[in-house]
Amino acid sequence: KRKRGRQARSCQTCHRRKQKAYTQCDGELPCFNCTRRDVALACTYSQEAEAHRRQSIHLSSSATASDAQVGNLFRNRDAPSFFGSSYFGPQAAAKIIEEPAPDLSSGIRHAAASTQSFRDVGGPFSQIWDLLGILPRHKASVDRLVNVFVVELNWSIDAIHPASFMAKYDAFWERKFGFDDYASIDLRWLALLFIILAYGVFLDCPHPKNAEVQRDLQETSLRFYWASRRAIVIAPTFYGESTDLVRAGVLVTRYLIHMRRVPESWLTTSFAMRMAQAQGMHIDGERWRLPRKETETRRRLWSHLYTLDKTIALAIGRPFAIVDQQCLVQKATNIWLDDESDERAATLRVLPLSEPTLSVYNFFAHDLAKIVGNIQERCFGLSVAAYDTVLSLDEDIRDWAAMLPKYYRIEDADTSQDGMHRFLRWNRLYLHSMYHFARVTLHRPYLLRQSITNRFRHSHDACISSACADLAMRIDYFQQPLNDRLKWSLGPHHLFNSALVLGIVAVKDPHSYKCDAILEDLIAYCDMQRADLWLNEFALAEVKIIELCIKKAT
């Protein structure tokens, strides 16, 4: 008799070595463990184990005959069908728009009766189980992080629609836990939840007591960030596209910009753009005959992607992903329809610019992003650009600035409405930093060029004036708590460093009348950076370069 009623299933070698967990014997001859250890000839089974192995082989071959073919995998997952092999164009986009977002069919839930747990690493839903394990154990903790994101940040960057997000949030927590539950989890929405938690960790404790607390907060935030990246990659395997996936991609990109990991953000914004194109967002909602409310939402979301794509590509010198000739999207209008019904949204009139909404910032940023794309295409392409082209593009930037309403003006902006519309202050800073980013990037190649006729003087003056204005905003930035920094630091001013430009100017002409003032501001900027608890290795590298410029100039 065997003890405790156990049945021998392993080969004698694995039984002797007590192989367990994920390395347990697979019952083959030779088994996987013996093959891996190059002792296949020593793989033998006892009489009882051999009988059990033969019985398992017989049952497995019988079950294989009745199983569905592997080719039915996508049909079983309810993947949307397309017209022929088309993956792009009006047929594919129309099909997605006509049908609701596909869900997993309930037929997969028969796995609950299986003897193999879905938590097993070999199961198709093990990734979902791993992601759920990253969530905090107590719902109250998640509630707090989500709430602080909505209250502190969402209203300034137009990241999510709180009502629709919270409806899915409540449904997520009200689900029944168990084997019949894992198939109902929407990974597309879960990716959005994780990146919101990553922001929430920073916002929940904007004033850490010491460097150790700050390091713990950053590690926790990065854990949620990586969970979101993982869910974004896995989600298309189980589901179709959705706006939640696009919003998650936008937030992930902005998170990387805030962390100064700009090359990575170039990859994430491209992925989010592909998800948006798969839903037809590059074609205006009016052409799809969508409701006005949904059309405005898609326009704003596409503008966020467009602005990030153009600015990041110019900042790091890589190609942008969105080609204007392949898009038919109108700008968002000055109206806010997110909280209105479809019937009422169709009847509301567009507001004048004197009554601002978040959409005003959106379409002005979109217009400047078009100019940024032209700068990269015409000045940083494969051919050398004429200086007249640079002056023409600079005139386009100044014309854009002249069209700004008074509350967004580059100089002497009207701040009287800031108390009524709290987003104006942060969006103004965002537009200003984007303006200075465009001008400095455009004129930077001519900053050190010499001309006997002084023909590059305009580029020299424009570059220095914009760099000084941006540095002043950066110095003010370090005097704010983290929750205020995040309201406007998710944009272009983190894509470049105006202090580096001024450092080069100081090294080039250390005896100019401006040099002493520039060096004084640069020293103050470096001191603020080093005293900042949130300083990371990327910002520290910039500080060291600026300090090197200061040393060379003195």
DSSP state of 115: S
Q: Judge contact between 528 and 478, C-beta under 8 A.
A: yes
Task: Please provide the DSSP assignment of 291-335 as one string.
Answer: -HHHHHHHHHHHHHHHHHHHHHHHHHT---S--GGG-B-PPP-S-
d(CA 359, CA 530): 37
Q: Which of 335, 381, 130 lies closest to 231, judged by CA?
A: 130
Q: What pLDDT does residue 492 have?
A: 62
Q: Judge contact between 360 and 335, C-beta under 8 A.
A: no
d(CA 202, CA 217): 7
Q: Which residues of the chain have pLDDT under 50?
A: 1-2, 21-22, 62-98, 100-119, 179-180
Q: What pLDDT does residue 23 have?
A: 60
d(CA 266, CA 124): 30
The residues near 482 (Cβ < 8 Å, ≥ 6 apart) are: 202, 203, 206, 207, 534
Q: Judge contact between 356 and 405, C-beta under 8 A.
A: yes
Q: Tell me the β-bridge partners of 328.
A: 283
Q: What pLDDT does residue 125 have?
A: 67
Which residue spans within 499-539 are E strands per DSSP? none
* 188 phi, psi to nearest 5 deg: -65, -45
What is the sign, positive or negative, of the torsion defined by CA atoms of 375, 377, 380, 384?
A: negative
Long-range contact pairs involving 14-23 (C-beta distance under 8 Å, separation at least 24)? 15/49, 22/121
- Is 283 in a helix, a strand, or coil? strand
d(CA 257, CA 213): 22
d(CA 396, CA 398): 5
- Is 49 in a helix, a strand, or coil? helix
CB-neighbour burial class of residue 308 (10 A; exposed 0-12, middle 13-18, buried 19+): buried
Type of residue numbered 446: Y
Type of residue numbered 227: A
H or E stretch at 126: helix 126-132
486 CB-side CA count, 13 A:
29
